[in-house]
Amino acid sequence: MQNQEKTSVNKNIKERIIVIDDEKRICDSLKTLLTESGYDVKTFNKSEDASLEIKTGNFDLIVSDIKMPGITGLDILRLARDIDPQALVVLMTGYGSLESAIEAINEGAYDYLLKPVEFPQLELVIKRGLDRRRLGRAKSFLLTELQDKNKALSDRFEEINALYRAGKSLSSTIDLNELLGTVIELATGVLKADIGSIMLLDENREYLTIAASQGLSAEIVKTTKTPIGTSISGHVAQSGEPLFISNVAADPRFKKENRDERYGRASLLSVPLLVKNKVIGVINMAHKTAGGEFSEHDLTLLSTFATQAAVAIDNAATFQQLKRRVLELSTLQEISDAMSRAGSVANLQEIIFWGIRNLMPVDMSLWFRWNSKSNTLNFVGGAGNAEVDLDLTIHAEPKDISSPESARELLLKHLPSPEESKIPRESFSVYFINNEAGLAYLFCLSSSAANCFSEEDAQIAGLIASQSATMYEREKAILNATRLLTMGNMISEISHDMRKPLTNIRGGLQIMRSRWPELANDSDMFKMAEEEMHRLNELVRELVDFSNPNKYQTERTDIVAVIERCLQLVQRDIEIKGIISRTDCEENIPEVFVNKNQIMEMLLNLLINAIDSISKGGEIMIKVRRVDIDSRTMLKIEISDTGCGIDQKDKAIIFDRYYTSKDTGTGLGLAVVERIVSAHGGRIEVVSEKGIGTTFSIYLPQ
């Protein structure tokens, strides 16, 4: 009847009238008259035949006699009303009575006419009835259309509400898993999907895993690992374009990939998750509820959810990164603070381990010191869940520790078994700790969890290890401080004891020069004695100054003049070795505030070292320039030599107290140089290559 109702509104289709009367004459006359009036008329003399036609529902109005053999007009009325509750039936009778009229009306007859029926009267009744039917059908059609519109409006409202809820969750939820779960729940509800999932790319952008889902088993969620370019999701992640499939089983692109029949003949949607035009995953919908198919509108709606999900992932990822950065900075600060409070290296190792444990699932940390002279790795301590107790020295060639990977293989080869050492091997990472001389330590992290250290973990672990490496230098500094204190006491006593005999010797030399000037001037031995006397006196003064540093009194000083004076003092040594000395000073170098005597001592120390480094011949160059560093104008004094150079491994310790490469050196010369430069607010740099030469650069503020 629904098709009939829709077609009856079309005015080009004739309305169909069924006439039933056991008198053939009446049927023929009514057919002729009604046909001329523009109706499609079909007549029946037998009510049984008419009933079969009525059951097809192919009629607009029925005109029937009441009294007929077999099936009566009232039976026809009831049958028609069963087929169509709004059926129009006009009953005629030649034996009218009040009772029959009431019964006809009660049964739902449209009208009740007495024979003989005047045709104009019948035509009027038929016209009014069909007009009423047309209006009723139009009303029904409009009501149905209104209901469809209301349903569509309700669906749109539900969609908007779901998007609003998703947006609200987006602004109020910072937990990624919770937010993605909310998005997929809302999307499956609005799109009427039985299955939904959000899949994210791994860090290397090689495969997809399920981050949130509806309608999938826990086993599928856990085991799904879809490579890019394979299956439906992998195809969308690779292309970056949304996909709408009305029947997965029939789609030639993915028919073979649907072997597990997870989707069967389902309709499916898959949309990429885009953040700044970069695919980070996909969102999928499958199995439309009640077996229906998705539409293009559904694809558009899912794309909206995908946009929100992508924003959620980006925001949550940013928040997680910031949260981790805060944790990393806090850990670094705690370790830094601990360095100043820890009473021992072992205590610091524990603090470092538990600090790193806050950031990654580590079970143990190990420290090895590299000795470049003996080519050995020495275990110097560790910390962890189990006690770390190793007596281990590993002999290794530099090539064996040329990279963290090769060092890892070397250590794993020599470490005791996990059962013996309690050191897990499932994850084992090695980080290099370098100083100016090169490799200093290996810092190792181990865990019983497989592949648990990410690139970010490696970076922060390396940073913490570099910061923490100073703990060993601190231990060394404590020993040096103790040694310095002892040396300071010895220096005070030695300098006190040496001053008197030196004064006596110097006085004796002066007396001899005054009595026998010819001998003093002509004797190389006498001159050598005076020079060595001067050197010993300077050494005592240097020792006293070093153990008792005084505040510097500065004055405006011409640095170029000081350099020229220093060259005069060492000129004889330069000539003896046949060294060429040159100066290259920028014009109009301004005077600077320095302690003249201390600067002269600094320059003499550097010049003497340069002379000593040259066996014979060679060159010493002194340059003075003004340079801009960090928005400040500084005076740069550069002293270069073509001497023997400095070993790479020794560069980091040449300024240490008591370090010397000379057989007769005190190890205080460069330490004094560094102290003088620092006291003037400057800094010193050294560049050296073994067998080529050395350049010291001193920067002093103007």
Least confident of 109-123, 254-268, 348-362, 598-612: 254-268
Burial string for 269-299 (b: 16+ CB within 10 Å, else e) reads bbbbbbbeeebbbbbbbbbbeeeeebeeebb
Domain map (residue ranges) of the chain: 2-142, 176-321, 342-466, 478-545, 551-701
pLDDT at 73 over 80: yes
Q: Is the pTM of this model over 0.85?
A: no
The predicted structure's pLDDT at residue 43: 93
How many CA atoms, within 13 angstroms, populate the side-chain half-sphere of residue 148?
6
| pLDDT reading at 49 higher than 50 | yes
Mean of pLDDT values over 202-227 = 87
Please state, in angstroms and rounded to a whole number, the distance separating the CA atoms of residues 273 and 692. Answer: 60
pLDDT at 666: 46
Residue 259, pLDDT score: 41
The DSSP line for 146-189 is HHHHHHHHHHHHHHHHHHHHHHHHHHH---HHHHHHHHHHHHHH
* Polymer length of the chain: 702
- Ramachandran bin of 274, using left for φ above 0, alpha for ψ from -120 to 50, beta for the remaining angles: beta
User: What is the residue-averaged pLDDT of the chain?
Assistant: 79
Say if CB 567 and CB 608 are below 8 A apart: no
Q: Which residues does residue 112 pair with via DSSP β-bridges, in sequence order?
A: 91
User: pLDDT at position 282, please?
Assistant: 92
Question: Percent of the chain scored above 70 by pLDDT?
Answer: 79
The answer on pLDDT for 101 being more than 90 is no
pLDDT band at 663 (very low <50, low <70, confident <90, very high): very low
Average pLDDT over residues 667-687: 80
Q: Which CATH architecture has domain 342-466?
A: 2-Layer Sandwich (3.30)
State the average pLDDT over residues 188-217.
Answer: 87
Would the pLDDT of 661 be above 60? no
Predicted local confidence at residue 624, as pLDDT: 93
Between β-strands 376-384 and 438-447, what pairing exists: parallel, antiparallel or unpaired?
A: unpaired
pLDDT at 469 over 50: yes
Structure tokens at 457: 């973990």
CATH of 551-701, one of 3.20.20.70, 3.30.565.10, 3.40.50.300, 3.10.450.50: 3.30.565.10
The two tokens of residue 355 are 């600090």
Could you tell me the pLDDT band of residue 506, with boundaries at 50, 70 and 90? confident
> Does residue 200 have a pLDDT over 80?
yes
The per-residue pLDDT for range 332-345, each reduced to its tens digit, is 777 666 666 655 66
Tell me if 2-142 shares its fold with 551-701.
no
**Confidence (pLDDT) at 86:** 84
Which residue has tokens 């340079």?
627
Structure confidence at residue 640 (pLDDT): 93
For position 477, what pLDDT does the model report?
A: 54
Strand 693-701's sheet: what is its strand order?
580-585, 619-629, 632-641, 693-701, 683-689
Q: Choose the weakest-confidence range: 282-291, 461-470, 657-666, 676-685.
A: 657-666
Q: Measure the CA–CA gap between 605 and 597, rounded to whole angstroms.
A: 12
Check whether 470 has a pLDDT greater than 80.
no
What fold, for 176-321?
Beta-Lactamase (3.30.450)
pLDDT above 50: residue 352: yes
Residue pLDDT, tens place only, 232-284: 888 899 999 998 887 766 666 665 554 444 554 567 889 999 888 889 899 99
Q: Cα–Cα distance between 124 and 129 in angstroms, integer? A: 8
* Residue 353 in this model has a pLDDT that exceeds 90: no
Kindly report, residue by residue over 608-631, the tens digit of the pLDDT. Answer: 888 888 888 889 999 999 998 877
- Provide the pLDDT for residue 174: 62
Per-residue pLDDT at 9: 43
CB 188 within 8 A of CB 285: yes
Write the CATH number of the domain with boundaries 2-142: 3.40.50.2300
Q: Which two tokens stand for residue 330?
A: 């806090």
